[in-house]
Amino acid sequence: REAGLRAGETALIHGGGSGVGTAAVQLCHQAEAKVIVTAGTDDKVACCLALGAEFGVNYKERDFAEAILAHTDGVDVILDIAGADYLARNVQLLKSGGRLVIIAVLTGAEAQIDLLELQKKRLRLIGSVLRSRSDEEKTAIIAAFKERFWPLLIDGRMRAVIEDVLPIERAADAQDILRRNRNIGKVVLQVRN
């Protein structure tokens, strides 16, 4: 929604193997966009390809910008969880009129940017997070999502990717899985009465 992704455009999803990433791959695929991902293992890349991505890069083995530019003429939209360390390469990858949506800053919150490149390409940088939004905004976002995508979850055209379901008593183990970045998709804690 933030990026205004249109059918036929190319979207790059950083962290494609994460819970947010696997959902974003499917959402972009359902919007008839071409999907490219970065992920930290070959298994995560393979999962994203199975979910509808057309191309993926293991960023631990190859420079993602070089690999993507060898595969495309750039991308229209980027969903970024990395932040500072990826900013210059993200700007390099965006086509004219491209949109960069930053939803997390895992590699840092401060970076330098070439403003002339932003002007020349007419790029838009969009910061987005749910946490700071009002309850009314969150409710509207959820309603719009349910209207457009809930039927796709119900009929199986989209699915939640879940690495593991653990009892709440094993919350420390779940945290360890996430901290070590071993998961593909979500790790769910189950609470029983």
Averages of pLDDT over each 10 residues, the chain, 193 residues: 88 96 95 97 97 98 98 97 94 98 91 93 92 90 89 91 95 94 93 85
Q: What is the pTM of this model?
A: 0.91
Q: How far apart are the first and last CA of the chain?
A: 37
Q: How many CB atoms lie within 10 A of CB 54?
A: 15
Q: What is the pLDDT of residue 154?
A: 93
Q: Which two tokens stand for residue 172?
A: 């420390």
Q: Which two tokens stand for residue 55?
A: 């191309």
CA distance 6 to 98: 12
- Which amino acid does the sequence have at 13? I
71 Cβ contact list (under 8 Å, min separation 6): 36, 55
> Which domains are present in the chain?
10-127 (3.40.50.720), 161-193 (no CATH)
DSSP 27: H
Q: What is the pLDDT of residue 1?
A: 67
